[in-house]
């Protein structure tokens, strides 16, 4: 049955981001399921990809495809071998997509990204411009994490394609992210348990929702395919806090994308929270990850959070992390609660010297005073804006 709200959401979904998980793309032996690739491509064409609707596909599956091609007896567990499998598999994955899209007269475009590409504002803007150019040419951008340069330990890595897809959604201001996997949506218990039911709508992601994600049901081991339902909910949280909606659905269900775009109430809908954020605030608030933190005294918290003021050095009580001028930092209160994120005008070393001091003293302390404020209000996004309250 068509749901009118879902129909409107589908109608407005331009650009649309579709994320396809490994479970949806691989056969039981771990190799690439070419029929699924063809089905995804065919459905995307039917819902207007490359012609009437701008679509970005975020696709996993490189590791699975690589394992099959390299004839590995089992899935490797060490990072270099997984990266090698991903590198081999990515070619095959893209060949398959390209072949499938060419059947419909369209070209596939490979886009390999890491979280750092989105955290760096210049690279982020370049990424967005490249995607826009691909839209103009009617090519289909197919994003995957750049696995060969990924380092599991790096704090600024995304971790998996679910969250990368959410970042891409926010970067492109896509009103809808569809995450396809091998189950019908978020279940209220273990999906393997017959008494568990799919939740049609999740109003907001909180502990009760994330509590439904059964950790370890699948894929607890592999380093390059470690999404899981919790990761999908975390991704949904990133996108919905920027005001975009997310649907979790079964990519193995025939015609799922066509049905969703017709407004069928399938899967689990997590509607966008509050208003949609302006582009720059969206990047600051939710696309990028902070690499340091500034602890604010109570007066500064009030000035920034309640009066919309810039952050002055005098209101900073402590600095955590090593960062450069222009980097994204968290602004936290003395209890450690994040109240905002912003781009700092000074690096951590200079900020350490001027914190707690009036702005008039900056020139004396540093020998120069390029900025009177530590973080300008135009470069700040309040956490509560991101939460839409
Ligand atoms: N509450 C839940 N509802 C639905 N799926 C869940 C839940 N808890 C755990 N899962 C598991 O999450 C898996 C999907 O995540 P993942 O393995 O990362 O898929 P993909 O490779 O498609 O991204 C499902 O196959 C399911 O077994
Ligand atoms: N980049 C990896 C996928 C990593 C990943 O996030 O997998 P999944 O949880 O299935 O979306 C690959 O292409 O195999």
Strand pairing of 316-320 and 293-296? antiparallel
DSSP string, 361-382: GHHHHHS--S-S-SB-GGGEEE
- Closest ligand 1 atom to Cα of 198: 3
pLDDT at position 388 is: 42
pLDDT at position 150 is: 75
pLDDT band at residue 153 under the 50/70/90 scheme = very low
- For the chain, what are the domain ranges? 4-281, 290-386
What average pLDDT is seen over the chain? 87
Sign of the alpha-carbon torsion through 31, 67, 234, 287: negative
pLDDT at position 158 is: 41
184 C-beta closer than 6 A to ligand 2: no
Q: Mean pLDDT over residues 302-306, rounded?
A: 94
Strand pairing of 245-250 and 268-270? antiparallel
Judge whether 182 is annotated as a binding position: yes
Percentage, residues of the chain above pLDDT 70: 90
Closest to 178 (Cα-Cα) out of 289, 55, 26, 287? 55
Q: Which residues sit opposite 250 in a β-bridge?
A: 181
290-386 CATH choice from 3.30.450.80, 2.30.130.10, 3.30.70.260, 3.40.640.10:
2.30.130.10
State phi, psi for 39 to the nearest 5 degrees. Answer: -65, -45
pLDDT at position 222 is: 41
147 C-beta closer than 6 A to ligand 2: yes
| Chain mean position to CA 369 | 37
HSE-up (13 A, CA, CB side) for residue 188: 8
Contact 277, 381 (CB under 8 A): yes
pLDDT at position 159 is: 53
Cβ count within 10 A of residue 80: 9
| Residue 259 pLDDT > 90 | yes
pLDDT at position 216 is: 60
- Closest ligand 1 atom to Cα of 162: 23
20, 93, 191: residue to mutate for ligand 1 pocket, most atoms within 8 A of CB: 191
* DSSP H or E segment with residue 207: helix 207-210
Q: Class assignment of domain 4-281?
A: alpha beta
More confident residue, 126 or 100: 100
Q: Mean pLDDT over residues 120-126, rounded?
A: 82
- Closest ligand 1 atom to Cα of 189: 1
Q: Which SS3 state, helix, strand or coil, does residue 32 take? A: strand
19, 210, 214, 236: residue to mutate for ligand 1 pocket, most atoms within 8 A of CB: 214
Taking each helix axis from N to C end, the angle separating 161-172 and 121-137, rounded to the nearest 10 degrees, works out to 80
180 C-beta closer than 6 A to ligand 1: no
pLDDT at position 224 is: 40
| pLDDT tens column, 198-226 | 999 999 888 888 888 887 654 433 434 45
Judge whether 345 is annotated as a binding position: no
| Residue 31 pLDDT > 90 | no
Q: How far is the CA of 244 from the centre of ligand 2 (A)?
A: 22
Strands (E), the chain: 16-20, 55-59, 108-113, 140-145, 176-181, 245-250, 268-270, 293-296, 316-320, 328-332, 338-343, 380-382
Q: Mean pLDDT over residues 85-98, rounded?
A: 95
pLDDT band at residue 170 under the 50/70/90 scheme = confident
How long is the chain?
389
| pLDDT tens column, 333-359 | 999 999 999 989 899 999 999 999 999
Q: Which SS3 state, helix, strand or coil, does residue 230 take? A: helix
pLDDT at position 63 is: 87
Judge whether 14 is annotated as a binding position: no
248 C-beta closer than 6 A to ligand 1: no
Contact 117, 124 (CB under 8 A): yes
pLDDT at position 204 is: 86
214 C-beta closer than 6 A to ligand 1: yes
pLDDT band at residue 127 under the 50/70/90 scheme = very high
pLDDT band at residue 29 under the 50/70/90 scheme = confident
pLDDT band at residue 155 under the 50/70/90 scheme = very low
| Residue 309 pLDDT > 70 | yes
| Residue 157 pLDDT > 80 | no
pLDDT band at residue 156 under the 50/70/90 scheme = very low
pLDDT at position 125 is: 83
Q: How far is the CA of 90 from the centre of ligand 2 (A)?
A: 11
pLDDT at position 19 is: 98
Q: How far is the CA of 364 from the centre of ligand 1 (A)?
A: 57
Judge whether 147 is annotated as a binding position: yes
pLDDT at position 348 is: 95
- Closest ligand 1 atom to Cα of 214: 8
Q: Rounded to an integer, what distance in angstroms lies between the CA atom of residue 91 and that of residue 78?
A: 21
More confident residue, 88 or 223: 88
pLDDT at position 212 is: 87
Q: How far is the CA of 183 from the centre of ligand 1 (A)?
A: 7
Q: Rounded to an integer, what distance in angstroms lies between the CA atom of residue 46 and that of residue 59?
A: 18
196, 202, 218: residue to mutate for ligand 1 pocket, most atoms within 8 A of CB: 218
Ligand sitting nearest the alpha carbon of 145: 2
22 C-beta closer than 6 A to ligand 2: yes
Q: Rounded to an integer, what distance in angstroms lies between the CA atom of residue 372 and that of residue 363?
A: 9
More confident residue, 232 or 280: 232
224 C-beta closer than 6 A to ligand 2: yes
pLDDT at position 78 is: 84
Asked if the bond preceding 15 is cis, omega within 30° of 0, the reply is: yes
pLDDT band at residue 276 under the 50/70/90 scheme = low
| Chain mean position to CA 332 | 23
217 C-beta closer than 6 A to ligand 1: yes
pLDDT at position 275 is: 66
């Amino acid at each position: 049955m068509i749901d009118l709200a879902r129909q409107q959401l589908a109608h407005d979904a331009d650009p649309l981001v579709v994320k396809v998980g490994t479970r949806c793309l691989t056969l039981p032996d771990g190799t690439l399921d070419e029929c699924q690739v063809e089905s995804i491509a065919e459905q995307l064409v039917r819902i207007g990809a490359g012609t009437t609707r701008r679509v970005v596909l975020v696709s996993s599956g490189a590791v699975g495809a690589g394992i099959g091609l390299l004839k590995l007896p089992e899935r490797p567990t060490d990072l270099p071998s997984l990266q090698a499998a991903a590198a081999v598999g990515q070619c095959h994955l893209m060949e398959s997509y390209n072949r499938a899209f060419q059947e419909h007269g369209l070209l596939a475009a490979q886009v390999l990204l890491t979280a750092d590409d989105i955290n760096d504002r210049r690279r982020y803007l370049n990424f967005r411009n490249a995607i826009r150019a691909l839209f103009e040419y009617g090519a289909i951008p197919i994003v995957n994490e750049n696995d060969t340069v990924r380092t599991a330990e790096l704090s600024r890595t995304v971790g998996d394609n679910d969250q990368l897809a959410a970042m891409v959604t926010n970067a492109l201001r896509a009103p809808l992210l569809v995450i396809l996997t091998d189950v019908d949506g978020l279940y209220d218990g273990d999906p393997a348990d017959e008494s568990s039911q799919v939740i049609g709508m999740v109003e907001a992601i909180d502990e009760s929702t994330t509590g439904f994600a059964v950790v370890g049901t699948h894929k607890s081991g592999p380093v390059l395919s470690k999404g899981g339902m919790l990761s999908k909910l975390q991704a949904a949280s990133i996108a919905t806090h920027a005001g975009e909606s997310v649907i979790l659905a079964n990519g193995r269900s025939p015609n799922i994308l066509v049905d969703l775009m017709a407004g069928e109430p399938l899967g689990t809908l997590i509607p966008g929270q509050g208003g949609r954020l302006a582009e720059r605030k969206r990047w600051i608030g939710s696309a990028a990850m902070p690499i340091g933190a500034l602890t604010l005294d109570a007066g500064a918290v009030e000035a920034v959070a309640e009066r919309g003021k810039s952050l002055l050095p005098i209101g900073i009580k402590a600095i955590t992390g090593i960062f450069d001028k222009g980097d994204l930092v968290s602004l936290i209160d003395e209890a450690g609660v994040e109240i905002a994120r912003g781009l700092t005008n000074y690096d951590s070393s200079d900020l350490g010297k001027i914190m707690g001091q009036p702005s008039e003293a900056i020139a004396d302390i540093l020998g120069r005073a390029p900025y009177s404020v530590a973080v300008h209000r135009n470069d700040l996004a309040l956490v509560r804006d991101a939460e839409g309250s």
